Chain A
Amino acid sequence: GIQVEQSPPDLILQEGANSTLRCNFSDSVNNLQWFHQNPWGQLINLFYIPSGTKQNGRLSATTVATERYSLLYISSSQTTDSGVYFCAARSGNTPLVFGKGTRLSVIA
């Protein structure tokens, strides 16, 4: 099945800094999503982005499907951005496969 790898595994930022999280996937996908899991365990969908670029406030994401990677950009980070960011991908009607996540800590 499809493999999803995320980097870096951990990231510590000062409030106001920018960051880039990367997701590599092993096969062509028709579905790629980014999620944020807050410290209480709630997973929130950030983007559905199998290709192209999307922006939502301080967050944006780009997927280059032909090169099998996706990037999540966080600008002007805030302490509320802390948590774990997951990338998940699927091919066809196979189950959504999650990466191991990037744990982000934003320090005031």
Chain B
Amino acid sequence: KAGVTQTPRYLIKTRGQQVTLSCSPISGHRSVSWYQQTPGQGLQFLFEYFSETQRNKGNFPGRFSGRQFSNSRSEMNVSTLELGDSALYLCASRSGRARYPYQETQYFGPGTRLLVL
């Protein structure tokens, strides 16, 4: 099976612009989560989607938004970019077993490195 893919891998934008990042989960996975990783704040949760519905949202301003499509692919959008949005954005899809013994494995994509100038 192909792993989680993210596009683009690298991106340079200027303040005030907007950006859209894409994530394709592993085939058959319906859950997609997004994380922001910075040296100062570490890995912070952005959103989680399951079957096109947002299940959880992290503590980020409204400039950060996301969605999931019927084929489980997900996009996140950041509007009005700020310098502090420079980060590695990671997407993960989740496999799990709903019945005992419960098991969950999170698979991460390679990330999108965003630099805001």
Contacts and interface: CB of A to CB of B under 8 A. Distances in A.
Nearest to B50: A93
Dominant secondary structure of chain B at its interface with chain A: strand
B55 A42 contact: no
A33 B108 CA distance: 13
Report the interface size class on chain B. 20 to 34
10 contacts: A30-B102, A33-B104, A33-B106, A45-B105, A45-B107, A48-B103, A88-B43, A95-B33, A98-B43, A100-B42
Interface of B: 33, 35, 37, 42-45, 48, 55-56, 58, 88, 90, 92, 102-108, 110-111, 113
A72 to B, nearest CB: 16
Contacts of B35: 98
Report the interface size class on chain A. 20 to 34
B26 to A, nearest CB: 12
Contacts of B104: 31, 33, 48
B106 A45 contact: yes
A100 B41 CA distance: 8
Contacts of B88: 41
